C-alpha cells in the first residue's frame, strides 16, 4: 500500500465516529498494523509509512561474523572432534550457543 493511502487510513480511523476496532474491521485491517503505521507516522512523518523490507541483520538466528570466525577457528584447530563436540565446547567456552548443524 502506498504511503499516501496509509496516511488516509490513519486519518479515516482517527476521525471515525465509531470505535477504532469497528472501523478497522470494516477496512479489513489488523489493529497491530494500524498502530504500527500510526506510530511510524507520528515519529517519522510520511517517510515512516514507506514499506520496509527486512534487513539481513534482523534475522534472529543468524551467526554474527565474529561467531562464524570463532567457529571456523575452533573446527580447524580440532579436526578430530565431531560437530556436536565442537558445538558443546563453543557453548561452554566462547559465550554463545551454536547448533551442531551450524558447525
The percentage of residues in the chain with a pLDDT greater than 90, rounded to a whole number, is: 82
pLDDT of residue 55: 67
Distance between CA atoms of 88 and 84, rounded to whole angstroms? 6
Whether 85 and 50 have beta carbons less than 8 Å apart is answered as no
Q: Could you state, in order of their start, the residue ranges of all structural domains in the chain?
A: 3-53, 60-103
Per-residue pLDDT of 26-43, as tens digits, reads 999 999 999 999 999 999
Put simply, whether the predicted model's pTM sits higher than 0.85 gets the answer: no
Distance between CA atoms of 49 and 40, rounded to whole angstroms? 6
pLDDT of residue 57: 63
Residue 12 pLDDT > 90, yes or no?
yes
- Region 56-81 average pLDDT: 88
Amino acid at each position: 500500500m502506498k504511503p499516501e493511502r496509509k496516511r488516509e487510513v490513519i486519518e479515516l480511523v482517527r476521525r471515525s465516529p465509531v470505535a477504532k476496532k469497528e472501523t478497522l474491521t470494516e477496512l479489513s485491517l489488523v489493529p497491530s498494523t494500524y498502530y504500527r503505521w500510526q506510530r511510524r507516522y507520528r515519529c517519522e512523518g510520511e517517510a515512516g509509512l514507506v514499506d520496509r523490507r527486512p534487513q539481513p541483520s534482523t534475522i534472529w538466528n543468524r551467526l554474527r561474523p565474529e561467531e562464524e570466525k570463532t567457529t571456523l577457528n575452533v573446527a580447524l584447530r580440532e579436526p578430530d572432534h565431531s560437530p556436536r563436540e565442537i558445538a558443546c565446547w563453543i557453548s561452554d567456552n566462547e559465550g554463545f550457543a551454536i547448533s551442531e548443524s551450524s558447525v
